[in-house]
Homo-oligomer: A and B are copies of this chain.
Amino acid sequence: MKVAILGFGVVGQAVARLVHSKHADRLAVTHVFNRHVASKRDGLGDNASLPAGVVWTEDIDEVLSSGAEVIVELLGGVTPAATYIRQALESGASVVTANKQVVARHGPELLAVACARGVEFRFEGSVAGGIPVLRAIEDGLCGDSLTRVAGVVNGTSTHILSRMEAGETFAGALAEAQALGFAEADPSDDLTGRDAAAKLAILTATALGRPVHCSDISCRSIETIEAVDFRYARELGCTIRQVAWAETGATRGQVIAAVRPALVSHRSPLAGVTGNQNVVTVVGEFGGETAFFGRGAGGEATAVAVVSDILAIAGARDRARRAPRRAFAAGGSPGNSVTSDFVAPHYIRFVVRDRPGIIAAVSSVFARYRVSINAVLQHPGWPASELPFVMTLEACGESCLDRAMTEIGAMDFHVKPPIVLPIFGASRGAV
């Protein structure tokens, strides 16, 4: 399927990379539209992950008449992005965008154009970056009646508030966010909640089926929050986040919606995000609360949302041609070999009749198997005749550890067999 990309910035380049590295069998980028195309192209050189024959252009009409089946809009801003999207849909192409301002302001009318032309308009990347929350709400929870949607969806605010919680000042945290590239030079849309309000407008329409103008959503700035508020919040079992939420009102057609700095209980899923993570939670009449976490920003996470939208359009076309459904059955019958020889840090709890030399005996076996001991923990207050102690091990393969533990288990000081547990999430990036 032929794909054209409008706007070749961070997200556009990540989309090209993802298409090129993972989906070249189904998708081909045929056109790239950008301002100052010559300097852009020359600046990227061979790093653009684009097929050899790709057409670079500054002329939108060349893209619209190119025969691309999907046009990906990543220009940002409302003008001229909304116009280009409408023209693309009217020309018979499907459109994928990650542009929250366009979707929040013109989503319903652009969907109507798409529907009238029998093409698709998709925008998963416009809210919460890589988290497939619109899809999950619209498809996976469509059986339920959702009554509330809430989220922490602005990375700059989350960064500032989590840094303030750690002792940084507001001004210091903002300067840091700008230095790291999280916050714009003018961060006012992030701080006041206008950025989150655009995302909330999209979530409200999707989850509650009640489109609202994002300019009608009441916002309050996080700029009033001070260090003292985090001290009191902690005492109340809470942290502080910028929360965007909407509920169905008492009457049909009424929506209660707001963006506010808020105290959030540590028990709430809304409290569990830092950095550029986003969380969105929905509450349904039948299914209760469901929460979605993930990377809310960044070119690669947003590219996953964009490419998944493109593949959905390709999939719908394939299904219309009765091509087989992908996933699950892809491997045919279960012919894959399964092992449990994973690599993880481990916790080992021994219960022993204490005597000198136990740690030495155990650690010499581990040394022979090249398993590194991280720590030895032993709480006081247990009898020497039945003493529990714990060793934690650096990451090692389970089968190797099993062999070491067979030797160790045969030693004569055990009161009961040692137990071995992997450890998850102890280091960054681990599950």
Residue numbers of A with Cβ under 8 A of B are: 14, 18, 22-23, 107-109, 111-112, 115, 118, 124, 130-133, 135-136, 138-145, 148, 150, 201, 205-206, 209-213, 216-218, 224-226, 228-229, 231-233, 235-238, 240, 243, 245, 247, 249, 253-258, 260-265, 267-272, 281, 283-284, 286-295, 300-301, 303-312, 315-316, 319-320, 322, 324-342, 347, 349, 377, 379, 388, 390, 392, 398, 417, 419, 421-426, 429-431
Contact between A322 and B118 (Cβ–Cβ < 8 Å)? yes
- Beyond A132-B141, A139-B132, A228-B349, whether A293 also contacts B269 by CB under 8 A is yes
Task: Provide the residues of chain B in CB contact with A131, threshold 8 Å.
Answer: 290
Having A143-B306, A143-B310, A262-B424, one finds 6 other A-B pairs with CB under 8 Å, namely A143-B309, A201-B334, A205-B328, A212-B336, A238-B347, A291-B293
Of all chain B residues, the one with the shortest Cβ separation from A240 is B421
Q: Are A342 and B421 in contact (CB under 8 A)?
A: no
User: How many copies of this chain are found per oligomer?
Assistant: 2
The 5 closest A-B pairs by CB, nearest first: A132-B140, A268-B425, A143-B307, A265-B425, A290-B294
**Residues on B with beta carbons closer than 8 Å to the beta carbon of A237:** 426
Q: Contacting A419 at CB < 8 Å: which of B201, B229, B307, B311?
A: B229
CB-based contact B431/A308 at 8 Å? no
Q: Say whether B333 contacts A421, CB under 8 Å.
A: no
Asked whether A288 and B292 contact (CB < 8 A) given A268-B424, A304-B141, A390-B232, the answer is no
Contact A224 B419 (CB under 8 A): yes
Known: A130-B288, A308-B141. A329 touches B421 (CB 8 A): no
A165 CB → nearest B CB, Å: 14
Query: Across the interface, which residues of B come within 8 angstroms of A305, CB to CB?
Result: 140, 143
Q: How far is the CB of A167 from chain B (nearest CB, A)?
A: 16
Contact (Cβ within 8 A) A337 B290 = no
Chain B residues with Cβ under 8 A from A143's Cβ?
18, 22-23, 303-311
| A237 to chain B: closest residue by CB | B426
The answer on a CB contact under 8 Å between A337 and B255 is yes
When A232-B379, A304-B286, A325-B115 are in contact, do A294 and B291 touch as well, CB less than 8 Å? Answer: yes
Is there an interface contact between B232 and A324, defined as CB atoms closer than 8 Å?
no
What is the bound-complex CA distance between A23 and B332, given in angstroms?
35
B304 to A340, Cβ gap below 8 A? no
Determine if B263 and A424 form an interchain contact, defined as CB atoms under 8 angstroms apart: yes
